[in-house]
A and B are shown apart, each in its own frame.
Chain A
Amino acid sequence: MTSVALRIAGAHGDGVESSGALVIKVAARNGLHVVAYRGYGSIIRGGHCWYQVRMGDSEMNSYGDGIDILIALNQESIENQKSHLNDKAVVIYDPSKIKVDTLDASKYRLTPIPLLDIAITASGDPIMRNTVALGAAIRFLGIDISAFAEVLKGQFGRKGESVVNQNVKAATEGYNYQGVQTIYSLRGDGKHRYSLDGNTALSIGAYAAGCKFYSAYPMTPASSILHWFAAHEDKGVMPKQVEDELAAINMAIGASVAGVRSMCGTSGGGFSLMVEGLGLAGMIETPLVVVESQRSGPSTGVPTKTEQGDILFVMHASQGEFPRIVVAPRSIKESFKVAADAFNLADRYQVPVIIMMDLYLSEHVETLDSLDTESVHIDRGKVVTENTDGGRFKRYLITDDGVSPRSIPGSKGLEFVAGSDEHTEFGDLVTDAHAGLDWAIEVRKNMHSKRMRKIETMLKNESVFVPEVLNDGADYFLVTFGSTTGPALDAINLLKAGGKNFGLISFSYLMPLDKEKTKKLLEGRKLINVEVNYTGQLAQVIRMNTGIEITQSILKYDGEAFTAEEIARQALALVSK
């Protein structure tokens, strides 16, 4: 496999993000595969940010460690990025603005281009310096200028022909600038690929599953789900920005009680406010999907940086006991599938389903050949529309599988009260006036075990509550959940190239877990858990469920996602001890 990592670095407001998006488009439309990730400290104008676009001729699962081509839009970019430069990396910069004397000229291919001058001559607009630089980068990559021109046309067509022409001119000047030549030759397979981030894939999955109501209070890195629903309001969905996360979850619960597939989303801080509502959904057995996109905590933490530090919290959030499903998609592709399935699981078992994203998964972009839209089907579970026996409706009927028939307001003869207090099969309270009476104690016991029985039922009926094992006969296994699975996948390939036989055991569903099967899959293997947190939360979950203690771990909590090289390096060090 050949891959090249291009990084554009500059200040917020320099057009770093839109430049990255352009490169992704060029690659995706020219049969290449892409993994791209945006690093930003804050969203304030002037703050340092970068966008790394890794392009390759086959599928990749991580955004790459070092930089092969750097476009430095300001001085700070040189200083901040130099430690990431690979040997012989191309550094494109404007000599009128930027000094490169801190870089060893013999190690890198320094490529000064008067970006600003060219931009102004070509268009009069200084922002087109990015286009000039991109034109040069495209040449280094070995992509034809016409492919870039095509994307520019699509991008700026709305602004008129002259804007398109100016951009193409600027790009061509960069492409043809002296000293700029093809050094990589990335060969695409001609396929036109989709490029999307995790939150987009998740949103499309929810949409495909018939989710029509999404409520949220803005919080990075979940906000883009709200933006997605808002941008697609004309497609029959209802985005609702509300006053706080208390409202977000309770409104979604109300909409779900009324029969509409509903979702709410936030990050850890907002989820903290949602906790009581989660218990309400558990108690009144209302289907609900909640997205929790993690960022570095605790408290406000590092709002723009990633972490996988909330799983134990989310698994145990809210007082008392109730069944819930917690799932952490392992890739962008899986974010779509998990979201689409979540609504069926929520409906089938009348439980809250929490989708654990993280900033890296929510925001990084990958190319995909397809999303599995064909397999999406809608199962609303035990919804009843008619009263068949004429008696008062037992919404919370005690059943063997723990799941009771559910009615939707508007259905005649099926009225009931959904109550957060413990209740009878009809939904009548057994608290306040009756708590402690013999019959009420009996009702409580039976109702609680009815709800909890749903866990056994889902474990029996669904096959998803076990990890996936890759490379079964390996000597060692990396153990991951969620987004760390991508870089770990690439890491085992790197390790293989280095002569070490590693496998991967990855979890997407974290709760409930099929303890027996999970134990069987893990037992007798040399395991190393790889997680973006301090305490090794997945290892704790594994121990809790199987008794197996993982003694070696690779942990990271500096705000960045793992790169494959980093995992491979550390894994090698651990097994070579």
Chain B
Amino acid sequence: MVDTNAAVKPKQILTSGVKPIWCPGCGDFGVQAGINKALSDLGIPKENAVIVSGIGCSSSMPHPFATYGVHSLHGRLLPVAAGVKLANDDLTVIGAGGDGDGYGIGVGHLVHNARRNVDLTYIVMNNEIYGLTTGQASPTSLFGMKTKSTPFGSIENPENPVGLALASGATYVARAFSGDPMHMAEMIKGAILHKGFSLIDVFSPCVTFNNLNTFDWFRKRVYKLDSVGHDATSISAALERSLEAEKTNWEKVPIGLFYKVEKPHYAQLDMTLKKGSLLKQPMPTKDQVGEILEEYK
């Protein structure tokens, strides 16, 4: 366990005063600190930030923040977040949820919002377990892992979320570790600044229900992509790196920026949004309605 909050000294504190509900030592505290630092370093006014979550321990993320938030349904944070963003492009929209939420029940939305390149920052607190429902296997639980729902060891292979996001067309893909919130804050800042769909897969240990993938377990295995001269402009290099954990039997696990590419994002291509934020576009006049009606004469 590390006191992750103490490690981060943000310029602006964005807390609502609501205490997070996490167990002491939960990795999600580090993620809270990372988001807080990223938002405050970038000077994003709290009224212009919306944190959208699903359901799970990690999905209570919006509450400690003084920003706007939607704590939505299990697996549905991405459509809600995309709806907010498409309605008002002036907002900074951050999705924050769990691995079960985003890689399990809601995985379809990940694929589609990535390929749509909606300008969202999506942070998945990946603890390789279902925390809130007290410790069942998640889509990223390792093969053989014993959980409440797999007491004899999981016989399913873990999903590769970084590879999936890359293959789906995400234009910013990174990984971070809750044990290094400063690095995570940099990844989040990069994602917020990036215009397009960003996924940050964050190892955020569950100290209560996952005694395999602990802070120490990750600390021994993670290394930074920066340190090996990874070329984050190359999709093939990124895909290759996304397979490394699996290939090394989780001995070497890269964190950092896998891939970043500039491509037009959804609002830049959409006929209506090109004219400005949907929210700001005027209501139709009676004449405009009448004109449309004439089509049917």
Write the residues of chain A forming the contact surface with B, with a CB cutoff of 8 angstroms.
Answer: 28-29, 192-196, 200, 204, 207-208, 210, 212-213, 215, 232-238, 240, 242-244, 246-248, 250-260, 262, 276-277, 280, 284, 371, 373-374, 376, 378, 392, 408-421, 427-429, 432-433
Contact = CB atoms under 8 A, between A and B. Distances in A.
B292 A257 contact: no
Interface stretch (B48-56, B179-187, B255-263): B48-56
In the A-B complex, the 5 residue pairs with the smallest Cβ-Cβ separation, listed nearest first, are A254-B83, A417-B69, A258-B87, A250-B79, A255-B87
A413 to B, nearest CB: 7
B270 A235 contact: no
21 contacts: A204-B293, A207-B292, A213-B87, A243-B112, A251-B79, A253-B80, A254-B52, A254-B85, A256-B83, A258-B83, A259-B87, A262-B87, A277-B76, A280-B73, A371-B293, A392-B16, A392-B17, A409-B68, A410-B47, A417-B63, A429-B63
B208 interface: no
A204 B132 CA distance: 45
Given A243-B109, A260-B87, A254 B296 contact: no
A340 to B, nearest CB: 9
A196 to B, nearest CB: 5
Nearest to A249: B79
A317 to B, nearest CB: 14
Contact of A242 (B52, B88, B112, B289): B112
A234 B284 CA distance: 12
A257 B289 contact: no
Contact of B273 (A232, A238, A257, A373): A238
Given A233-B272, A373-B289, A260 B68 contact: no
Contacts, number: 203
B292 A254 contact: no
Nearest to A413: B47
Given A204-B289, A250-B80, A257-B70, 14 more contacts: A212-B278, A236-B275, A244-B108, A246-B79, A246-B108, A254-B82, A254-B84, A254-B87, A255-B83, A258-B87, A410-B279, A413-B47, A419-B70, A428-B18
Give the residue among A234, A256, A414, A419 with the most B Cβ atoms within 10 A: A419
B63 A255 contact: no
A411 B47 contact: yes
B296 A194 contact: yes
B284 A247 contact: no
B295 to A, nearest CB: 9
Contact of A213 (B67, B83, B292): B83
Contacts of B69: 415-419, 427
Interface of B: 16-18, 21, 45-48, 50-52, 55, 60, 62-63, 65-73, 75-76, 78-88, 90-91, 108-109, 111-112, 132, 270-273, 275, 278-279, 281-284, 286, 288-290, 292-293, 296-297
B279 A429 contact: no
Contacts of B76: 246-247, 250, 276-277, 280
Contact of B83 (A257, A374, A392): A257
B80 A374 contact: no
A243 B174 CA distance: 24
A410 B91 contact: yes
Contact of A253 (B78, B83, B85): B83
Given A238-B273, A255-B278, A429 B108 contact: no
A276 B79 CA distance: 13
A374 B84 contact: no
A276 B293 CA distance: 35
Contact of A420 (B55, B132, B272, B290): B55
Nearest to A236: B281
Nearest to B77: A250
B66 to A, nearest CB: 6
A204 B292 contact: yes
Contacts of B81: 254
B47 A194 contact: no
Contact of B84 (A200, A255, A433): A255
A238 B86 contact: yes
Given A250-B73, A251-B79, A421-B71, A208 B289 contact: yes
Contact of A409 (B50, B75, B278): B50
Contacts of A260: 87-88, 278-279
A415 B282 contact: no
A286 to B, nearest CB: 9
A417 B18 CA distance: 11
A417 B68 contact: yes
A242 B271 contact: no
Nearest to A371: B293
B237 to A, nearest CB: 29
Give the residue among A235, A237, A410 with the most B Cβ atoms within 10 A: A410
A289 B16 CA distance: 31
A258 B282 contact: no
B296 to A, nearest CB: 5
A410 B88 contact: yes
Contacts of A378: 283
A105 B290 CA distance: 49
Given A213-B278, A234-B271, A238-B273, A257 B290 contact: no
Give the residue among B18, B67, B279 with the most A Cβ atoms within 10 A: B279
A374 to B, nearest CB: 7
A257 B80 contact: yes
B32 to A, nearest CB: 14
B296 A196 contact: yes
Contacts of B63: 417, 419, 428-429
Nearest to A238: B272
Contacts of B79: 242, 246-248, 250-251, 254
A251 B266 CA distance: 14
B68 A415 contact: yes
Contacts of A192: 297
A235 B284 contact: yes
A338 to B, nearest CB: 16
B164 to A, nearest CB: 15
Contacts of B51: 417
B102 to A, nearest CB: 14
Contact of B71 (A212, A252, A417): A417
B284 A409 contact: no
Nearest to A414: B47
B221 to A, nearest CB: 31
B55 A213 contact: no
Contacts of A29: 297
B84 to A, nearest CB: 4
B72 A235 contact: no
A215 B297 CA distance: 27
A28 B84 contact: no
Contacts of B50: 258, 409
Contacts of B65: 417
Contacts of A252: 83
A23 B66 CA distance: 61
Contacts of B87: 213, 254-260, 262
Contacts of B60: 429, 432
Contacts of B271: 233-234
Given A208-B284, A276-B73, A415-B46, A259 B297 contact: no
Contact of A210 (B46, B78, B109, B283): B283
B290 A258 contact: no
A193 B279 contact: no
B49 to A, nearest CB: 8
B48 A410 contact: yes
A551 to B, nearest CB: 43
A413 B45 CA distance: 11
Contacts of A244: 108
A100 B226 CA distance: 82
Contact of A207 (B67, B78, B273, B289): B289
B112 A258 contact: no
